[in-house]
Amino acid sequence: MRVLKLLLVFALLTVGGVAWIALRPLPHSAESVAFSIPAGASLRRTAQVVESAGFDLPAWQFELLGRLLGRAATIKTGSYEVTGQTTALQLLNKLTRGDVSQGQVVLVEGRTFKEFRATLNAAPELAHDSASLTDPELLARIGAIPLNNLASPEGLFFPDTYLFDKGSSDLHLLTRAHQAMQRQLATAWEARDEKIPLKTPYELLILASLIEKETGQASDRPQIAAVFMNRLRMGMPLQSDPTVIYGLGEQFDGNLRRIDLQTDTPWNTYTRRSLPPTPIATPGFAALSAAARPPPSDKVYFVAKGDGHSLFSRTLEEHNHAVTKYQKGQK
């Protein structure tokens, strides 16, 4: 009987001790504590990381709690952040749920892929696994098939706000952005006006990129699309300044000159009458939709008014008058 009582007392003390470990508040010195559990970390290694992060929780106690609750094999890799008060049990639950902390990166409409890569490289919470890869190597790593002979990644990644697990690979984010563009492009192509003079979804993507770069105000976007579509039907050169700038690449110094308009590159839509060989930027869904279903219009010219809007003209005479008024500052 005495032995039984001693065992009962021991059991109660053990249960009480575990409960104390599990439920007592864990003070820490900072308002927010961030730490990362590396891939393949054992429960013991995880407990050491937690203690090193600054929690008042000896590693052996966290390991004991995890083993008693059968959580030794369920810890999820990733970056975590704890704000406010927590307990060992809450912390263990967080790690077994994989409730990782997230970062955010914004890929903006109208930016080039080079600018996208710079944005990702500047995100400190991403693992920069793509940093040493060339563009073709990057496309191969994420399983993206180039849609042109130049193996260009331009336009293949959808602009959006992306949340990601802190410490995750930028290649994973780029895969998501590429898949998103495939879905959005397929949706726009499926909804297109079948009378538009575009043969493939990729041609739609190219034209949408021109529309994106030429649009100062969203209300002008459909009319810009209509002008480009009319010019394609008529065999007129598109004469889009952003295509010339894109073709100049690093040579462009911010000042577009007449000689630049006359210097032929594959992207110069003054010297060539077709679409450029690749997109010149990343279009958003509004630009894709405008390219797919432009409104009826007889306009074939437009000029920037200086306030973000454009003025659209039907004849060259009207257009020249608008250029004189709005770009040369004359009445």
pLDDT tens-digit readout, 84-100: 788 889 899 989 988 88
pLDDT at 81: 83
List 302's β-bridge partners, or say none.
312
Q: What kind of fold does domain 2-97 have according to CATH?
A: Dna Ligase; domain 1 (3.30.1490)
Residues 327 and 321: their CA atoms lie apart, in Å, by 10
Over range 128-149, report the average pLDDT: 90
Q: Are 54 and 33 in contact (CB under 8 A)?
A: yes
φ, ψ dihedrals at 193, nearest 5°: -75, 120
Which amino acid appears at position 232 of this protein? L
Residues 281 and 1: their CA atoms lie apart, in Å, by 83
Q: Are 170 and 129 in contact (CB under 8 A)?
A: yes
pLDDT tens-digit readout, 291-307: 999 999 999 999 888 88
pLDDT at 8: 38
Residues 12 and 9: their CA atoms lie apart, in Å, by 5
User: Could you state, in order of their start, the residue ranges of all structural domains in the chain?
Assistant: 2-97, 102-185, 193-326
Q: What are the tokens at 290?
A: 């405008």
pLDDT tens-digit readout, 106-132: 999 999 999 999 999 999 989 999 999
pLDDT tens-digit readout, 27-76: 776 778 888 888 889 999 999 999 998 888 899 999 999 999 998 888 98
Helical segments of the chain, H only? 2-23, 43-52, 59-68, 88-97, 113-121, 135-141, 170-190, 201-214, 221-234, 241-248, 258-262, 285-292, 316-326
pLDDT tens-digit readout, 5-30: 433 334 434 566 778 888 888 877 67
pLDDT tens-digit readout, 186-229: 999 999 999 999 999 999 999 999 999 999 899 999 999 999 99
Task: Indicate the pTM of the whole model.
Answer: 0.78
Over range 146-157, report the average pLDDT: 86
Sign of CA pseudo-dihedral 181, 185, 209, 275: positive
Q: Are 151 and 136 in contact (CB under 8 A)?
A: yes
DSSP-based three-state secondary structure for 156: coil
Over range 137-142, report the average pLDDT: 94
Give the list of residues 6+ apart from residue 70 with CB closer than 8 angstroms, or none: none
The angle subtended at Cα 265 by Cα 140 and Cα 267, nearest 5°, is 60
What DSSP character marks residue 324? H
φ, ψ dihedrals at 27, nearest 5°: -70, 150
> Please, how many CA atoms are within 13 Å of residue 268, restricted to the half-sphere of its CB?
14
pLDDT at 278: 96
Which amino acid appears at position 19 of this protein? A
pLDDT at 29: 64
Residues 164 and 268: their CA atoms lie apart, in Å, by 38
Over range 266-281, report the average pLDDT: 96
Complete DSSP assignment for 209-261: HHHHHH-SSGGGHHHHHHHHHHHHHHT-----HHHHHHHHGGG--S---HHHH
Over range 168-189, report the average pLDDT: 95
Across all residues in the chain, what is the average pLDDT? 89
